[in-house]
Structures are given as structure tokens and as C-alpha cells.
């Protein structure tokens, strides 16, 4: 039986519920199909595609057209899963109009909500987007689009001052109309405080257990991306080695002449074969 897609109201109702939500980050049709077949209830089409798919060293070069392309692929593969689409760097920061227009593009392509990274400086954009009826997931803590300004891809909110700022940002996101807030890479104790300070659901990416939703990247949890393993990643498979071993086995079969075998080729009757002069 096809999975029933979550609604915004159901996500709101899960605040304080024991019925937790798994949100897997994927970027393409085949992976999306696998998530759709699984029990995971949310997909993030993240701008981390800049690193995972495009081989860049961050997310700032990803543009809204990249997001549109990958969102379309993912939506085709996962018709029954709630999809969060990332708004790329500078697709919403410059003006409210631009934010609305670009959020609208993602919604027209099948997103169930958009995700907007940033602190107090983008709350007017979140407000503008939610006021036209587009659901927004706010994203605070480590915000990779502005990681350079935060001192790199590091744990956020470690001291009183930055911790207080993050609580303020979560509260401001709720006031701006966000239906949900993703908190990336802050200490578990701070995330608990954030969760208690807002009445909207919290999604944790590496921020401990005080949340209703949890996000991991498919490439991390499947053990495909292996350059490094963040502390919060739990690997459920070691597919990198499985894949490399498969490539090597096929290559060895080619070299030994065992691939392709007779039954791995198409055949025709001898009388239909033209004769060479
Ligand atoms: O793009 C992404 O994968 C994200 C997660 C790190 C939350 O934004």
C-alpha cells in the first residue's frame, strides 16, 4: 500500500509526540524512489548537492535552477513523501519579492515546503514567504551557506552569547510564521532549550534528541560518502566498498573475457546475417 504523505498540520501535531519523523536528504529520482518505498516520512532536497553531487567545496555556488532540477527528479521518484526544498544561497536574501518568487518556483515544481537558512537578518523574508501561503522550515545553527562567516563547518552555540542568539532566532522564526525549525549542529542541551522555547516542531541535524524530526544525508547513512564521518552520522550500510568491489569484479570479468557471456548478448539467425564479400 502506498505511503500516505504527511501534511503540515500532521507535522505541527507531532510536536511533543513520540511519533518521530525521519527526513532523508536525497537529490535524484532513484534514491527518492527508495525513500518513498521506505517508512521515512520526509525528504530534504538539500543544497548540499553542491558538495555531494557537484563536487564543490560548499553550497554557495548552488543556484535556484540547480534546486529546481533536483527537486523535479526527486518529486518524480517520491510522489508519496513530504518534500522540503532548500532555497539556494542568494535566492531569497536580497529582497522579499525575490524570496517569494523563488519559493513559488519550488512549490510549483512539487515542494511541500521550502527551507530558508539564516538568523535574524532573514526573518522579514520568512515572513513575506509565509504571508503568501508558502510553508517555510527555518534553518538555524550551522548554516552552511554562510559557514565562512561562522568560522567554518563547526558546532554552533557553544557559549552563552551565541546560545542566547540561537534561542532568539528560533523564537523569531516562529513569530515570522515558520511552521518548523531545523537546528543544525548545536549542543544537545541547547537544542532542548530551543525545543522548549518554541511551539513549532524542531528538526535536529546533529543537534541531539530533543526534536520531533531527525535528518541524515542518504550518502552518509549508506556509507557512500567517506571523506569524513561527522559524529552525528550513524551508518546503516557500507555501500562505498560494495560499489567499488562491484566495479572491480566487472572490470576483472571484462579482462578475463568472461563478460559478456553468450546469454548476455542478443542473437540472430545465421541466415539473416549478411555475408562478407
Ligand atoms: O542541504 C542540506 O543537506 C541541509 C542539511 C545539512 C540540513 O541543509
CA distances from residue 184 to 2, 29, 119, 144 in whole angstroms, order as listed: 31, 26, 12, 9
**CA pair distance 156, 132, nearest whole angstrom:** 31
Q: Calculate the dihedral angle through the C-alpha atoms of 170, 176, 177, 183, rounding to the nearest 10 degrees.
A: -20
pLDDT at 226: 82
- Residue closest via CA to ligand 1's atom 2 equals 46
pLDDT at 175: 98
- Residues marked as catalytic: 184
Q: Helix or strand or coil: residue 25?
A: strand
Q: Helix or strand or coil: residue 204?
A: strand
Domains of the chain: 8-237 (3.20.20.60), 242-269 (no CATH)
User: Is the Cβ–Cβ distance between 218 and 35 less than 8 Å?
Assistant: yes
Report the separation in Å between the CA atom of 48 and the middle of ligand 1, taken as the mean of its atom positions.
Answer: 6
pLDDT at 189: 98
Quick one: how many helices (H) and strands (E) in the chain? Answer: 10, 8
pLDDT at 132: 98
pLDDT at 177 over 90: yes
pLDDT at 1 over 80: no
Substitution candidate for ligand 1 out of 113, 156, 217, 232 with most atoms within 8 A of CB = 217
- Count CB neighbours of 83 within 10 A: 24
Nearest CA-CA partner of 174 in 146, 194, 204:
194
Q: Is 166 left (phi over 0), alpha (psi -120 to 50) or beta?
A: alpha
Long-range contact list for 31-34, CB < 8 A, 24+ apart?
31/74, 31/77, 31/218, 32/73, 32/74, 32/75, 32/76, 32/77, 32/78, 32/81, 33/77, 33/78
pTM of the full structure: 0.96
Mean pLDDT of 208-234: 95
Band (238; pLDDT cuts 50, 70, 90): very high
Of ligand 1's listed atoms, the one at least distance from the Cα of 117 is 8
Mean pLDDT of 168-184: 98
Pocket of ligand 1 (CB under 6 A): 25, 44, 46-48, 86, 182, 184, 205, 215, 217
Amino acid at each position: 500500500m502506498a505511503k500516505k504523505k504527511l501534511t503540515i498540520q500532521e507535522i505541527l501535531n507531532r510536536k511533543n509526540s513520540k511519533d518521530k519523523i525521519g527526513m532523508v536528504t536525497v537529490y535524484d529520482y532513484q534514491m527518492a524512489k527508495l525513500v518513498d518505498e521506505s517508512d521515512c516520512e520526509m525528504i530534504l532536497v538539500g543544497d548540499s548537492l553542491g558538495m555531494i553531487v557537484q563536487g564543490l567545496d560548499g553550497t554557495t555556488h548552488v543556484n535556484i535552477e540547480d534546486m529546481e532540477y533536483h527537486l523535479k527528479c526527486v518529486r518524480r521518484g517520491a510522489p508519496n513523501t513530504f518534500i522540503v526544498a532548500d532555497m539556494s544561497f542568494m535566492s531569497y536574501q536580497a529582497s522579499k519579492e525575490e524570496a517569494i518568487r523563488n519559493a513559488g518556483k519550488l512549490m510549483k515544481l512539487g515542494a511541500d515546503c521550502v527551507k530558508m537558512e539564516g538568523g535574524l537578518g532573514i526573518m522579514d523574508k520568512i515572513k513575506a514567504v509565509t504571508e503568501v501561503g508558502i510553508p517555510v522550515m527555518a534553518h538555524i545553527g550551522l548554516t552552511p551557506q554562510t559557514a565562512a562567516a561562522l568560522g567554518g563547518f563547526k558546532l554552533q552555540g557553544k557559549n552563552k552569547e551565541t546560545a542566547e542568539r540561537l534561542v532568539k532566532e528560533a523564537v523569531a522564526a516562529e513569530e515570522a510564521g515558520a511552521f518548523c525549525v531545523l537546528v543544525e549542529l548545536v549542543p544537545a542541551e541547547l537544542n532542548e532549550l530551543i525545543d522548549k522555547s518554541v511551539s513549532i516542531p524542531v528538526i535536529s541535524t546533529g543537534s541531539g534528541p530533543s526534536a520531533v524530526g531527525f535528518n541524515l544525508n542518504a550518502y552518509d547513512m549508506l556509507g557512500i560518502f567517506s571523506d569524513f564521518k561527522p559524529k552525528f552520522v550513524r551508518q546503516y550500510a557500507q555501500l562505498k566498498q560494495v560499489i567499488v568491489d562491484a566495479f572491480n569484479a566487472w572490470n576483472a570479468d571484462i579482462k578475463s573475457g568472461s563478460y559478456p557471456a553468450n546469454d548476455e548478448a542478443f542473437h540472430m539467425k545465421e541466415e539473416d546475417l549478411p555475408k562478407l564479400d
